Every structure is written in C-alpha cells, then in structure tokens.
Amino acid sequence: MRIAEFQKRIEDIYFQRDSKRGLAGTHMWFSEEVGELTRALRRGQREELEGEFADVFAWLVSMASIAGIDVEAAARKKYEHGCPRCQGTPCRCP
C-alpha cells in the first residue's frame, strides 16, 4: 500500500471523529501512541513493535489529513534529492 492509499484508508476510518476532536486533541492521542511505541522499543518484541509503529503512523497521517497535508507528496518534496541539507544519500552532514 502506498502512503497516499494508507492516508486515504485512515481518513475513511477515522477522519470524521478525529476532525471533530481537532488537531490539538488528535495530537494528544498521537503523543500517547508515541509513548506506547517507546515502551515497545524497550521491550524489543517484534509483534508489539509492528503494531505500535502502525498506530503511530496512523495517528500521524490522521493529523496530516486534518491539517490538509498530503503526507506522500510532502515526503517526496522534502526528501526526493536525499538529505534536505546536504542532498546526500547517505547523508554527509557533519
């Protein structure tokens, strides 16, 4: 699934509820999920990590949708030439 497809899927599932909550409220839920990812990273259990990475990504694209941002287009624009600072791949920044 491409990023744009995933963002659309999350919009179909959650946009109505998340947009009513607003960007600030949705960011609070996103932050909670980042905390859960942090705990999963400490535990190192792959299945738990997969779920938490997916949850964080879902909340991230939901916030982007509320803000009117196409995540795939934004990522492409910023990183298509490599590192945004040095343009290197891999990054050559000091």
Residues of the chain with pLDDT > 90, as a percent, come to 97
The Cα 59–Cα 18 span in angstroms is 9
> Looking at residues 55-76, what average pLDDT do you find?
98
pLDDT value of residue 45:
87
Q: Within 10 A of 19 (CB to CB), how many other CB atoms are there? A: 14
Q: Is the pLDDT reported for residue 66 higher than 90?
A: yes
The CATH fold assigned to 3-79 is Helix Hairpins (1.10.287)
Contact 33, 56 (CB under 8 A): yes
> Looking at residues 61-86, what average pLDDT do you find?
97
> Looking at residues 23-52, what average pLDDT do you find?
96
Q: Is the pLDDT reported for residue 40 higher than 90?
A: yes
Contact 65, 7 (CB under 8 A): yes
* Amino acid found at 81: H
The Cα 84–Cα 90 span in angstroms is 11
Question: Is the overall model pTM greater than 0.75, yes or no?
Answer: yes
